[in-house]
Amino acid sequence: MAHVITSPCMEEKASICSEVCPVDAIQEGDKQFYIDPNTCIDCGACIIQCPVSAIFYEEEVPEDEIGYIQKNAEFFSRV
């Protein structure tokens, strides 16, 4: 998984990240957006555009947001 969207997205849920993704790796869920780890090309365009700084490289997800790595994986296991 290249990138993970964390809790600030739940309050903002802006779609800018999905609009700038060159490979359409970002999908909207009920409460937030998620990044498909099988599609993401690790370009970082979404990180730059996120208005609430909710997107991180998986290795840099803050400790208090680690659960979002699993949430992302679970979202795409259901899709």
Q: Residue 5 corresponds to which amino acid?
A: I
Q: What are 30-59's pLDDT values in tens digits?
A: 999 999 989 999 999 999 999 999 999 999
Does the structure show a pLDDT above 70 at 79?
no
Mean pLDDT of the chain: 93
| Whole-model pTM over 0.75 | yes
With pLDDT > 90 as the criterion, what percentage of the chain qualifies?
A: 84
Extents of the domains making up the chain: 3-78
Does the structure show a pLDDT above 60 at 1?
no
Fold of 3-78: Alpha-Beta Plaits (3.30.70)
